[in-house]
Amino acid sequence: MERSAPPCERIVTLRPDATVECADCGLPMFPIAESSLTVTLECANRHRVVTALPAERAMRVLIDNWIAKKGAQLHVQHERWERGEDEE
């Protein structure tokens, strides 16, 4: 099992659609997971960033929608188990 470095927490500003531009490759990053305090975003090259969950309710709904869409394709839950961060 390939294991990438743990994501580092950065200050990123979410776009109005709750995505960000990847600092490494410039591709859009989409929310793939969230905790009560943070949201994890990933680009097509699997670069990841963890940032604070925005306070705006509308933004959180967008994030939930992205995660729901991604969850159908990726086994996000499995990855969360791997990292041992399923529950806070």
Residue choice 20, 32, 39, 43 for contact with Zn ion (CB under 5 A): 43
CB-nearer residue toward Zn ion: 10 or 56: 10
Which residue stretches of the chain are H helix?
Answer: 57-73, 76-83
Stretch that binds Zn ion, among 14-22, 34-42, 67-75, 76-84 (CB under 5 A): 14-22
HSE-CB at 31 with a 13 A cutoff on CA atoms is 28
Q: Does 25 bind Zn ion (CB under 5 A)?
A: yes
Q: Does 45 bind Zn ion (CB under 5 A)?
A: yes
Q: Is 7 exposed, middle or buried (0-12, 13-18, 19+ CB in 10 A)?
A: middle
Which residues, 46 to 85, sit near Zn ion by CB under 5 A? 47
Which residue stretches of 21-86 are H helix?
Answer: 57-73, 76-83
CB-nearer residue toward Zn ion: 47 or 60: 47
By CB under 5 A, name the binding residues for Zn ion: 22, 24-25, 43, 45, 47
